[in-house]
Amino acid sequence: MIYLDNAATTSPKPDTVVREVDRALRLYSANPGRGGHTPSVTTAKAVYNVRKSVKDFFHVKSEEDVIFTSGCTQALNIVIKGTLKRGDHVVISSMEHNAVLRPLHQLKEQGKINYTIADVVAGDNDATVNAFRNAINEHTRMIICTHASNVFGVRLPVERICALAHNYGILFCLDAAQSAGIFDVNLSDNGYDYVCCAGHKSLYGPMGTGLLLLGNDIRLEPLTAGGTGSDSANPLMPEYYPDRLESGTLNIPGICGLGTGIRFVNTRGRENIARHEMRLVQHLYRELSRTDKVMLYTPAPEIDEYAPVLSFNIEGSDSEAVSAFLNRRYGIAVRAGLHCAPLAHKAFGTLESGAVRIAPSAFSTERDIEILLKAVKNFIHTT
């Protein structure tokens, strides 16, 4: 099998991650923070060590500002539902995932908030920043913006958009699901208020892991309330983090696996991985751009402007049919359809057709891309 669906989740996971999950299940099988006995304390230390490595990786102020979640979706829901108040307005980009759009839309349907979509102009960061500026109004409380499109790879000028938000006294939340482990995501340099990440994509952790990183002291209302093993006589959730946002038993094997995934990225080098993936995508782009009937949607990608994700279509063919053919005839796993990002498809005119998405990982090879190219050409000749 050639797996090129790493924007959904990376596969395979590094052997070290697999071994760490196994080790955690054996060694850290007591509930952390729920008892004074040795196994519980041992597990709590393991969790703390991962919190510390996340803090270092993203330059978060302190370990307490690292919240473990089940994925980027949960992290975004905590921010959106824990921050916004009745009458608030939010600006998002035209590249947002449903993990941003749907919780906002839910609140809008309930009559609580409103949101505006700022059009991203690929290749013109000034125009993109201006679109955000124009969308701000007196009620705007937060800007939420993806670091890079999970469909077309377009990289947004998030440092500038964050600075713009702060100029207007507006909170800035970064969706780093598609970028963490690829681009530099640095809370201390950039002053992001919230960063939401998937642990299972380019951080190489297991599925069911994610992160919410806090960059300010504003009090968030918890999305879920429950046991934290702390301040137990109090019917209210603790005021302090991470406990306030982490109720219930944590996903210890997942968290330990995520810690080892981050170590994998550090060992290979985040920039080396990004360059490797981008070289593969650029090669693919070059060849596809010379192939009759292939429809590409962006200029040739460069790392300053694009994440290593490429979507295309074949004239006259449904994207799902292309992906089914690649799977059946060549054992190539790619995703087709809308990739949970209808806004991005609307912006690129592919809402009807969807698109075939290619997303390599650190483990993808040139040979994978050569076989994919052969398979695409074969599809075109046989249909």
User: Using CB under 6 A as the criterion, which residues of the chain lie in contact with ligand PMP when the complex forms?
Assistant: 71-73, 97, 99, 146, 150, 175, 177-178, 198, 210
Give least dist CB 291 to ligand PMP, A. Answer: 27
**Roughly how many angstroms between the first and final C-alpha of the chain, as a whole number?**
23
> Alpha-carbon distance 262 to 266, whole Å?
6
Token reading at 5: 């669906």
Residue 63 phi/psi, 5-degree rounding, is -60, -35
What is the three-class DSSP state of 143? Answer: strand
Nearest residue (beta carbon) to ligand PMP: 71
Nearer to ligand PMP, 128 or 178 (CB): 178
Nearer to ligand PMP, 43 or 128 (CB): 128
Nearer to ligand PMP, 21 or 99 (CB): 99
Nearer to ligand PMP, 146 or 323 (CB): 146
> Alpha-carbon distance 17 to 6, whole Å?
16
Q: Hunting for tokens 């609140």 — which residue is that?
A: 107
Strands (E), 238-306: 294-296
Token reading at 21: 């999950």
Nearer to ligand PMP, 343 or 375 (CB): 343
> Alpha-carbon distance 358 to 373, whole Å?
11
Give least dist CB 204 to ligand PMP, A. Answer: 13
Give least dist CB 27 to ligand PMP, A. Answer: 26
Give least dist CB 323 to ligand PMP, A. Answer: 16
Q: Is 331 left (phi over 0), alpha (psi -120 to 50) or beta?
A: left
Give least dist CB 151 to ligand PMP, A. Answer: 8
Q: Where does residue 179 rank: exposed (0-12), middle (13-18), buried (19+ CB within 10 A)?
A: buried
Nearer to ligand PMP, 99 or 274 (CB): 99
Give least dist CB 146 to ligand PMP, A. Answer: 5
